[in-house]
Each structure stands twice: as structure tokens, then as C-alpha cells.
Amino acid sequence: MKVKVRLTGIYAQYLGWTKAEMTLPDGASLSDLLAILAEQAGEQGEMFFEKQTGFPALDILTVVNGAASPGTTVLHEGDVVTLMPPAVGGCPTATN
């Protein structure tokens, strides 16, 4: 099956692309996709998938077809998967 993958922020920076279509075996889960991306990222692979636990990295936001989704989500033909790093920054605390 084919799914569309969109990377944002540092994920796109490390893999060198923002959008791709990937072919996965039928019945593949979001965790399976993240494991593949982790291999492609080499030393930075832990950003996507923690090999020791077999689960997605804790700080990755995984979205499938517009909805936040856990690693156990089974992917289907044509799904759109977006991977986002955690939000950082913001407004500093005002001082008097």
C-alpha cells in the first residue's frame, strides 16, 4: 500500500525532504513506518522510534488523516501521515 508522509521541522531537516509517498506492506502500523524512517535517519533515528522499547519516540506528534494517532494505528492505502516535533518557545514571562 502507499501512504503519503509529511515531515515538519527538524524531522524534514534530518531526512532532507518534506513530502514523500512511501510503499508499506498491507497491515503496517504507524510504528512500522516510524521504524523505517528511523533507519533512514541513521544516528538521529531515535527521534522517530525507540528501538529499546519498540515504540514511537515520546516527543513526536503523529497525525494520520488530520487526527492525532498512536503508534498502534494501522495504516491504509492513501492515508496521509504528518510527523511534527514538539512545540517549543512561546512568549516569555512578563516581568515588572
- pLDDT value, residue 89: 55
In a domain, 94, yes or no: no
In a domain, 60, yes or no: yes
CATH number of 6's domain: 3.10.20.30
**pLDDT tens profile 14-60:** 899 999 999 999 999 999 999 999 888 888 878 787 777 777 777 78
In a domain, 54, yes or no: yes
In a domain, 77, yes or no: yes
In a domain, 90, yes or no: no
Split into its structural domains, the chain has a count of 1
In a domain, 9, yes or no: yes
Residues whose CB falls within 8 Å of the CB of residue 8, separated by 6 or more in sequence, listed in order: 18, 82, 83, 84, 85
Domain that holds residue 76: 2-84
The overall pTM is greater than 0.85: no
**pLDDT tens profile 56-96:** 777 788 999 999 999 899 999 999 999 998 775 555 555 55
In a domain, 80, yes or no: yes
For the chain, give the DSSP string.
-EEEEEE-HHHHHHHT-SEEEEE--TT-BHHHHHHHHHHHHGGGGGGTEETTTTEE-TT-EEEETTEE--TTPBP-TT-EEEEEPPP---PPPP--
